[in-house]
Structure 1
């Protein structure tokens, strides 16, 4: 296993499972500074839980998965409240799925869907406006498990 430098502040995201780059104990841990070092991506889209079109900034899920050497077919995304859903990794190649840390230029806070929120480009793809995709918009994202 190749090592990723450890976070210098408390981690906000833990990734486990079929990955080839880890921090320690079989997992990759990231603080906000490490996540902000990934290539920045931006997306404007409406959501099912906010009013109007919002501007999101973050990183593409596929960039994170490449960074940790993910070797699976499914990502289980789990939130701080233990909500979890399985997402096919193929979706992250097919769509520009963002892991947002900002909305409308402001950091996402744990009290309002933060610090990380999975955002699909629903306005750019009619098929993503199906309610089945709304369940994949995990807010307060804290853990990913790659299988």
Structure 2
């Protein structure tokens, strides 16, 4: 009977919690923020936003692929978090990402692009951090060489560099 009362009390307390408390919380950043995600998201760590420094970004699943780009010479290795993994972390299933760079340039990336084997938010190129001067610290990269559908003007326009903000909208 004691266990039943404890379980009933736990269920009652959880049911009474506000939804905002129940939303998944990620640790707060300890370093300089490199990406702030706002909008319709489940995972937050600061004022209804998910603020990621390099360390927190690196705690998300890592994806690496090699591809050439129209902005660089030759094939390079890019490492980062896939948009599919980020969308899953955020609880995002539809809508679009408004991706904004440090100079306030903004592009719209449909959540439908967030697929396995699709684009990543790269934080390493050839194993090295990218400086602002070299399109960093974050760059949305599609695996252009793996699929001709990724070699279009529309996709190239979504390949925003110096990314620092994402807003998830429906």
Q: 1:19, 1:86 → 2: CA distance?
A: 17
Q: Deviations over 1:2-33 (max 9, x none)?
A: 22211011211000001011112111100000
Match of 2:132 in 1: 110
- What TM-score comes out, normalization by structure 1 length? 0.94
Structure 1, gaps ≥5 residues long: none
**Cα pair 1:18 1:72 within 8 Å, conserved:** no
Give the TM-score of the pair, scaled to structure 2: 0.82
- 1:18 maps to which residue? 40
Contact 2:101 2:165 survives alignment (8 Å):
yes
Instruction: State the partner residue of 1:48.
Output: 70
Which stretch has the larger CA shift, 50-59 or 65-74? 65-74
1:65 is aligned to 2:87 = yes
Cα offsets for 1:53-100 (capped at 9, x unmatched) = 111111111111211222541111000011111111011126521111
Greater strand fraction, Structure 1 or Structure 2: 1
Match of 2:115, SS state, is helix
The structure with the largest helix share of the pair is 2
Contact 2:63 2:80 in 1 (8 A): yes
Whole-Å Cα distance in 2 between the matches of residues 77 and 134 of structure 1?
14
Q: Is the 8 A contact 1:72 1:146 kept in 2?
A: no
Larger radius of gyration: 2
Aligned residues: 147
Show the counterpart of 2:150: 128
Q: Structure 2 unaligned runs (5+)?
A: 1-19
Question: Is the 1:71–1:146 contact (alpha carbons within 8 Å) kept by the matching residues of 2?
Answer: no
Aligned to 1:34: 56
Question: Aligned equivalents of 1:92 and 1:65: distance in 2?
Answer: 7
